[in-house]
Amino acid sequence: MANPKVAVVVPADRSGVSYREMEAAGCNVELADASWSAGFNATNEAYLSLCTNADAVIGSRLEGLPITRERLSQLKNLRIYCRYNIGYDDIDLEAASDLGIIVTNSPVESNWGSVAENTFALMLSMLKRIPERDRHLREGGWREDEPSARYIGRRLDGYEGLTVGLVGLGRVGSRMADLLQPWRVKLLAHDPYVDQSKFVHHNAIPVDMETLLQNADVISLHCDLNDGSRSMINEKQFSLMKPTAIFLNTARGGLVDYDALFDALDKNVIAGAGLDVFKTEPLPKQSSILSLGDKVVLTPHSAGRTPGGINQNAIVMQTEILLTALRGVVPKYVVNTEVLPKWRERFGNKSLI
């Protein structure tokens, strides 16, 4: 029996420990070109050359190369597609399930916890106007004509504080809710997919989407991207927000109509935005968002990245998951659970290592 082939589409493990572990288990490990290590530069031809005849694929998202039904259907031996990311919206899960391929993701705290922290930092930067005040000082200013900051929490003098609205109360949204607790804000949340007890646990008031948009001073997105949520924030939703509202998106660019966001900011329908994700990534140098000056604070889809974080934890996790699947056992963190009956029929108890 030939050794199973593992294709590493994003060679992010600079130590090489995970590759040696897979080789020690009997796998033939083939790495993508080093230029793919940040998730860019992959071509369809090179991708298929690497992954053809692979029994397992492992790595992060490849920007500009969605994992479509057409691509998956050419990987005849594939039993598992392992992702170092939490997100998997670029993979056609329906196709993977039809083809009997398990897809797994990496919900490691070092990733989703960092996203919540970055969201919090964007919120503070916008409300406290840190970039503007920094520039004001560097240009020779002091307190005269300094951009004014907003007080966030409730005070004993009767100031009621700001209202923060979280769209999505999963891992990131829940952590964001927890980070906000000491700040004495009024916390609204909208998530039709979680139990009522979760709102209680995180001290959030459950509301419908319209109520959240109309009442929140800060609106923060923390939901998955799918066919039902694509462009869920568009011109209509922005029109419901307060003119003083701050909008945050550290989830997925596809959740937002960015043309509508630009118009809302440009026409002062809302006050500002903190963004880590965009419709097109990397953000084009000619993007209209970049012309908005201090109305936006931007980070390069890096909210979940911290030194020794996602790579160290997710690589270890997915290496174990990959080897488990190659032994014919259903692994942890399967995102397309509907595949399991077909997968067990094709690969269950059929070990390759």
The single-letter code of the amino acid at 65 is L
Q: Which position has the token pair 């931007």?
A: 298
Q: In what order do the strands lie in the sheet with 5-8?
A: 28-31, 5-8, 56-59, 80-83, 102-104
DSSP-derived secondary structure for 257-270: -HHHHHHHHHTTSS
Cβ neighbours of residue 305 under 8 Å, at least 6 residues apart?
114
Residues counted in the chain: 353
Beta-strand runs (E) in 168-271: 186-190, 205-206, 218-221, 246-249
The pairing of beta strand 5-8 with beta strand 56-59 = parallel
Closest residue by Cα to residue 302 from 4, 102, 39: 39
Catalytic member of 23, 63, 235, 281? 281
Kindly give the interhelix angle for 109-127 and 130-138, rounded to the nearest 10 degrees: 60
Active site residue 146: no
Beta-strand runs (E) in the chain: 5-8, 28-31, 56-59, 80-83, 102-104, 163-167, 186-190, 205-206, 218-221, 246-249, 272-275, 296-298
Catalytic member of 83, 175, 190, 252? 252
Query: CA–CA separation, 231 vs 257, rounded Å?
Result: 5
Q: Which position has the token pair 């991708």?
A: 47
Q: Which two tokens stand for residue 99?
A: 């083809």
Query: CA–CA separation, 251 vs 173, rounded Å?
Result: 10
Active site residue 301: yes
Kindly give the interhelix angle for 171-180 and 109-127, rounded to the nearest 10 degrees: 50
As annotated, the active-site residues are 252, 281, 301
